[in-house]
């Protein structure tokens, strides 16, 4: 998650601090109590992987899309 925060601070991604906190909290752990929680967790982890891979590849537009999709859910 640190790379997301750094990209935000460098102006490469547009994400507000509340959404950064949300992503940190979600990556810290998600309690799964039912199928809906499991589906949400799977989407979050997939989205985070896509966003991180894009950031490491320098593809900030793709990372922004993945982050927007995660924080809108």
Over residues 18-73, the pLDDT tens digits come to: 887 777 776 666 655 666 666 777 777 888 889 999 999 999 999 999 988 887 75
Say what the pTM is. Answer: 0.74
**Residue 51 confidence (pLDDT):** 92
Are the C-beta atoms of 36 and 10 separated by less than 8 Å?
A: no
The two three-digit tokens of residue 5, written as one number: 């925060």
**Residue 47 confidence (pLDDT):** 84
**Residue 35 confidence (pLDDT):** 63
pLDDT over 60 (residue 15): yes
Distances (CA, A) of 28 to 12, 33, 41, 58, 73: 24, 16, 12, 25, 17
Domain boundaries of the chain, sorted by first residue: 2-72
């Amino acid at each position: 998650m640190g790379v997301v925060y750094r990209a935000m601070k460098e102006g490469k991604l547009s994400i507000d601090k509340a959404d950064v906190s949300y992503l940190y909290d979600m990556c810290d752990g998600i309690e799964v109590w039912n199928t809906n929680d499991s589906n949400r967790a799977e989407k979050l982890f997939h989205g985070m992987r896509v966003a991180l891979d894009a950031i490491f590849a320098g593809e900030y537009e793709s990372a922004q899309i993945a982050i927007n999709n995660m924080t809108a859910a």
